[in-house]
Amino acid sequence: MSILQRAYERILAASLVVLAPVAMLFLVIHVTWGLLVGVILFPALPAGARNALVQFWARIALVLLGIRLELTIEPNAAQPKDTLGSLLLINHTSWSDVFVVAAVAPARFVAKSELASWPVLGRFAACVGTIFVQRGRRHAVAQVNASVAQRLREGQSIGVFPEGTTTDGTYLLRFHANLVQAALEANAPVIPLALQYRQGDAPSTAPAYVGDISIFESLWSILKAPRLEARLHWLPAIATESRSRHAIADAARSAIATTLRLSDHVAQEASNGDTVSVNEDLSVL
C-alpha cells in the first residue's frame, strides 16, 4: 500500500468515527418511524404493501449502517421475487443479517422471546410479524413449527438461522433441523442463503455479534468500518423429496460452506466446541 493510500485510509477511518454518532441518531429516528408505521398502518395494509414497506425499511437501515449490499443469484437459483413462501436457512454473524436478507426478500424471522422485551426494537419486531419462541418450554418448537408452516402456506417467506447463535463468519456451526419440519409440512421450498461481510478483498469480522460484546459496541464497530459490504448469495433450493429434515439441514450447510469457501473440517471443530441447546437454535440476535 502506498503512502497516499495509507493516508486515505486513515482519513476515511477518522471521518467514520466522527460521523458514527450522527448515523446512530438517524438510526434511532429510522427505527422510531418504523415502529409508528408498524403499529398504526401495518394491520390495515395488504400483504404486498407490508412486504414493500419491510423491504424499503431494511434498505434504508443498511444505508444508515454504512453497509453496501451485493446480491449474487447463483446458477440454477430462482429470483428472490419468485420464491415467496420459502423457508430461508441463513448462516448467522450479526443482528444486521436480518436487514440484509429483508432488503432482498421481505421475509419474517423466528426470534427468541427475549427480543420481544427489548425497548423499541422488540415492539418493532412484533409489529412486522416476527415469530417468537420461548426457551425452556417443552412444546415451544412444535408451536413455532405450526406458526411457520401456516405462514409458509400463506406465501410468506420465513428466515431462520439454524446455527442457533452467531459466529465471527470464519466458520459454520452445526445446523439444527427443527424448523425444517415446518417446510416439509407446508410443502414449501427450502433455500439456503450464504452471507459474508467483507471490507475490500478480505472477509470482515466488524459486524460480528459474538461473545460478551453489547449491541451498542457491535453497532459502533459496524459504523466505523470503512467500505463494509454484505455479500448475499441466493442459492438453489434444496431437494426435499424423500429426505429427512436433518439431511436437508446438512445439505443447506454444505452448500453455504462451499459458496463461502469455509472448510468443513474447521466448521466441524467449531461445532464440537459450541454446543447449542434445542431452544437456542431459534434466535435472530
Q: What is the CATH number of the domain that holds 241?
A: 3.40.1130
pLDDT of 181: 94
- The CA distances from residue 88 to 6, 109, 123, 157, in Å, are 40, 9, 23, 7
Measured distance CA(236)–CA(238) in Å, rounded: 6
Per-residue confidence band for 139, with pLDDT thresholds at 50, 70 and 90: confident
Q: What's the angle, vertex CA 176, arms to CA 171 and CA 182, rounded to 5?
A: 135
pTM here is: 0.86
pLDDT of 27: 87
Containing domain of residue 205, as a range?
3-282
Angle (deg, nearest 10), helices 47-65 and 3-40: 150
Measured distance CA(248)–CA(109) in Å, rounded: 19
pLDDT of 280: 38
The pLDDT mean for the chain works out to: 85
Residue range 233-253: average pLDDT? 95
Convert 131-142 into a string of H (helix), E (strand) and C (coil).
EEECCCCCCHHH
pLDDT of 137: 67
Report how many domains make up the chain: 1
Measured distance CA(33)–CA(216) in Å, rounded: 20
Q: Would you say residue 84 has pLDDT above 60? A: yes
Say which residue the cell 439456503 belongs to. Answer: 192
Per-residue confidence band for 125, with pLDDT thresholds at 50, 70 and 90: confident
**Beta-carbon count within 10 A of 75 CB:** 6
Contacts 24+ apart (CB under 8 A), 79-84: 80/104, 80/105, 80/234, 81/105, 83/157, 83/189, 83/191, 83/237, 84/155, 84/156, 84/157
Sign of CA dihedral 39, 24, 213, 257: positive
How far does CA 90 lie from the centroid of its chain?
Answer: 6
Q: State the greatest distance between any 2 C-alpha atoms of the chain, in Å, as a whole number.
A: 61
Per-residue confidence band for 101, with pLDDT thresholds at 50, 70 and 90: very high
- 72 versus 283: the higher-pLDDT residue is 72
Residue range 82-95: average pLDDT? 95
Measured distance CA(154)–CA(49) in Å, rounded: 15
* Residues 126 and 132 sit within 8 Å (Cβ to Cβ): yes
Residue range 24-29: average pLDDT? 86
**Beta-carbon count within 10 A of 11 CB:** 11
Residue range 256-281: average pLDDT? 56
